[in-house]
């Protein structure tokens, strides 16, 4: 294997695929990035088994610019940790890479001459296969918004692995994402450009994957998503992002979402969020982050928090509208603040069904997002 390649393109590809590398892998070969050079293109691959990222560099760019000169096709696996740092620091615009005896690799740029112990590409696991797949496209900005609106609510508890992912469902061109950690839930819907009769259910994608994915999607790009039996493939420009689907059945959450409320509260998102944020500063001194919310027919809203030995906070604001029974309920203020952070709407609509039933938060702008928080049972 011998080639000359644009430093800029190589660096971009290395940075993209390196996001799949896990610091915790026990397989030596997975600490490396695989370079595959053919007469058509250069392919870089990195993987932690669950997630695999591939980046492609064409020999000639769309604008006719030569990006790669291949003298001899071939394949090698190079240490990712070092590659990620060194490529961007090379002195010249082009890089020469040559693989010799025993995968010993020479990287040259200007007067920098590096020798790296390469690894045998035969040992590298095969790229994942996506079979029986359903394929649709979505705008990058819309996909990022869907992920951002839900992923914060996943469980971090590895005891319930299925809840560490986000649930995807497609029905009648409506793509719905949902996440829950049993204490709170976030869900959102986007209408996408897919055939009416295309559908899938119970597809669960790891939050870790989605968090890495949003980093490489630009708002302008459109993303092609292929959902197979065990794998999902996100096709983002010249990057292929594979992720193993999480095994298991996602719990049915439809029954826990109340549709009738005893009290309903409309408030300005900023006023409510700012007041809650101040109450949280004391609430967080107690590990439960508890605040108490009170509201009555006159529309006066009170938020209180207390930490023994430190003090208490009382916040007052006016509801834009309040209907139903007078309210007195306690909840984890951190969960509410997390939901408020991803709501862009200026108004909130909050529904209550009792001190032990879920609180439902919806943005006032008509978006189909829904946030649920379980109240906290307190003695008073």
The reply to whether 7 sits near a second copy by the rule CB under 8 A is no
Listed residue (332, 327, 330) closest to 351, CA to CA: 327
56 in contact with a second copy (CB under 8 A) = no
Q: How far is the CB of 300 from a second copy (least distance, A)?
A: 10
Q: Is 282 in the site for a second copy (CB under 8 A)?
A: yes
- Residue 335's φ and ψ, nearest 5 degrees, are -60, -40
Closest CB to a second copy among residues 92, 321? 92
Number of other CB atoms surrounding residue 163 within 10 Å: 24
Residue 71 sits at φ, ψ, to 5 deg, of: -95, -35
Nearer to a second copy, 49 or 310 (CB): 310
Least distance to a second copy from the beta carbon of 364, Å? 21
Binding span for a second copy by CB under 8 A among 155-163, 243-251, 314-322, 360-368: 314-322
Q: Does 372 bind a second copy (CB under 8 A)?
A: no
Tell me the window of 65-73, 164-172, 304-312, 371-379 that interacts with a second copy (CB under 8 A).
304-312
* Cα first-last separation, the chain: 73
Chosen residue from 313, 329, 359, 370 binding a second copy by CB under 8 A: 313
- List phi, psi (to 5°) of 128: -60, 150
Please tell me the count of residues contacting a second copy according to CB under 8 A: 31
Beta strands 370-373 and 184-191, pairing class: antiparallel
Q: Give the position of tokens 């430093």.
A: 7
Please tell me whether residue 270 binds a second copy under the rule CB under 8 A: no
- Decide: is 315 part of the binding site for a second copy (CB under 8 A): yes
CA proximity to 329, closest of 366, 300, 359, 307: 359
Quickly count: other Cβ atoms within 10 Å of residue 153's Cβ. Answer: 25
Judged by CB under 8 A, the residue of 46, 90, 95, 138 near a second copy is: 90
Q: Applying CB under 8 A, which of residues 129, 311, 365, 378 lies at the interface with a second copy?
A: 311
Take residue 316 and report the two structure tokens written for it: 């007052």
Among 137, 215, 229, 312, binds a second copy (CB under 8 A): 312
Q: Least distance from C-beta 115 to a second copy, angstroms? A: 5
Choice from 115, 297, 298, 346 touching a second copy (CB under 8 A): 115
CA distance 257 to 275: 26
Is residue 89 part of the contact set for a second copy (CB under 8 A)?
Answer: yes
Q: Which is nearer to a second copy, 64 or 91 (CB)?
A: 91
CA distance 259 to 349: 13
Binding residue for a second copy, selected from 146, 147, 317, 348, defined by CB under 8 A: 317
Stretch that binds a second copy, among 124-132, 142-150, 156-164, 306-314 (CB under 8 A): 306-314
* Window of 6-14, 138-146, 305-313, 329-337 that interacts with a second copy by CB under 8 A: 305-313
- Contact call for residue 50 and a second copy (CB under 8 A): no
As measured in angstroms, the least distance from the Cβ of 116 to a second copy is: 4
Nearest-10 Cα torsion for 329, 334, 336, 339: -170
Residue 280, CA distances (Å) to 181, 290, 375 in order: 21, 8, 15
DSSP-based three-state secondary structure for 275? helix
User: Contact 184/176 with Cβ under 8 angstroms?
Assistant: no
For the bound state, the minimum distance from the C-beta of residue 79 to a second copy, rounded and expressed in Å, comes to 6
What is the full DSSP assignment across 160-226? SGGGGEEEEEEETTEEEEEEE-SSEEEEEEEE-BS-TT--EEEEEEEHHHHHHHHHH--TT-EEEEE
- Among positions 316, 344, 356, 368, the unique one binding a second copy when judged by CB under 8 A: 316
Task: State the residues that interact with a second copy by CB under 8 A.
Answer: 79, 82, 85-86, 89-91, 105, 111-117, 274-275, 277-278, 281-282, 285, 309-317
């Amino acid at each position: 294997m011998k080639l000359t390649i644009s430093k800029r393109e190589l660096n971009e590809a290395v940075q993209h695929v390196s996001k799949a590398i896990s610091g915790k892998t026990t397989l030596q070969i997975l600490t490396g990035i695989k370079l595959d050079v053919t007469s058509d293109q250069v392919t870089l691959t990195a993987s932690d088994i669950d997630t695999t990222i591939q980046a492609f560099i064409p020999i000639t760019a769309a604008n006719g610019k030569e990006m790669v000169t291949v003298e001899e096709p071939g394949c090698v696996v190079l240490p990712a940790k070092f590659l990620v740092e060194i490529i961007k620091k090379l002195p010249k615009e082009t890089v020469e890479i040559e693989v010799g005896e025993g995968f010993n690799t020479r990287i040259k740029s200007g007067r920098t001459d590096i020798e790296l112990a390469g690894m045998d590409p035969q040992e590298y696991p095969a790229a994942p296969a996506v079979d029986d797949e359903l394929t649709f496209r979505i705008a990058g900005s819309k996909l990022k918004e869907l992920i951002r609106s839900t992923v914060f609510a996943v469980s971090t508890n590895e005891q319930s692995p299925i809840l560490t992912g986000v649930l995807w469902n497609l029905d009648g061109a409506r793509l719905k994402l949902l996440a829950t950690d049993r204490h709170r839930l976030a869900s959102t819907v986007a209408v996408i450009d897919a055939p009416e009769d295309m559908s899938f259910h119970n597809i669960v994608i790891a939050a870790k994957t989605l968090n890495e994915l949003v980093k490489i999607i630009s708002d302008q790009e459109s993303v092609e998503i292929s959902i197979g039996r065990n794998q999902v493939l996100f096709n983002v420009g010249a990057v292929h992002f594979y992720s193993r689907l999480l095994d298991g059945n996602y719990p049915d959450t439809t029954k826990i979402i109340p549709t009738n409320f005893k009290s309903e509260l409309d408030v300005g998102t900023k006023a409510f969020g700012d007041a809650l944020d101040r109450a949280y500063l004391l609430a967080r001194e107690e590990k439960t982050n508890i605040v108490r919310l009170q509201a009555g027919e006159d529309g006066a809203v009170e938020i209180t928090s207390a930490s023994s030995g430190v003090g208490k906070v009382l916040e007052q604001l006016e509801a834009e509208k309040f209907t139903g029974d007078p309210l007195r309920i306690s909840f984890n203020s951190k969960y509410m603040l997390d939901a408020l952070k991803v709501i862009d709407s200026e108004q909130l609509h909050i529904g209550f069904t009792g001190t032990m039933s879920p609180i439902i938060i919806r943005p006032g702008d008509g978006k189909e997002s829904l946030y649920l928080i379980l109240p906290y049972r307190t003695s008073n």
